Amino acid sequence: MPDDDKFRTAYPALNKELGSGTAKVGIDGVRTMSEKTDAPSTERFLPNVVDYIRRCDTMDQAVEIINYVLKRGEINTKQAREFKSQLKAQGLRSFGTKKETDHYLHHGVSE
């Protein structure tokens, strides 16, 4: 008994879903590791004000973050006003989805 007949007999419902023919998928390329990922990373991720805002649960916390980074000189007064304006007009999640604890362990630093 050929393999196709064995399959049809053993799995009639699955055979019906797959149809009468066998699908073939071509492979156009091969993904390789880049040289950069092989070497230990010397780059360090430094979160910015938006990264901190995305960890907030309330708008009050976000305002506190904005005031803090303004006081530290990481943003200027104009930027602080723009962040607060966006916060008031569009809400906390307009800066992006909430980043939970251990976000970077699960998702890396690219997001």
* 56, part of any domain: yes
* 38, part of any domain: no
List CB contacts of 55: < 8 A, sequence separation 6 or more: 98, 99
Write down the pTM of the prediction. Answer: 0.55
* 20, part of any domain: no
* 22, part of any domain: no
pLDDT band, very low/low/confident/very high, at 35 (cuts 50, 70, 90): very low
* 41, part of any domain: no
Q: Which domain holds residue 70?
A: 49-107
- The rounded distance, in Å, linking the Cα atoms of 54 and 93 is 7
- The rounded distance, in Å, linking the Cα atoms of 84 and 62 is 8
Residue 9 has pLDDT above 60, yes or no: yes
| Predicted pLDDT of residue 99 | 80
* 66, part of any domain: yes
* 34, part of any domain: no
Of the candidate ranges 42-46, 58-62, 79-83, 97-101, the one whose mean pLDDT is the lowest: 42-46
Domain count across the chain: 1
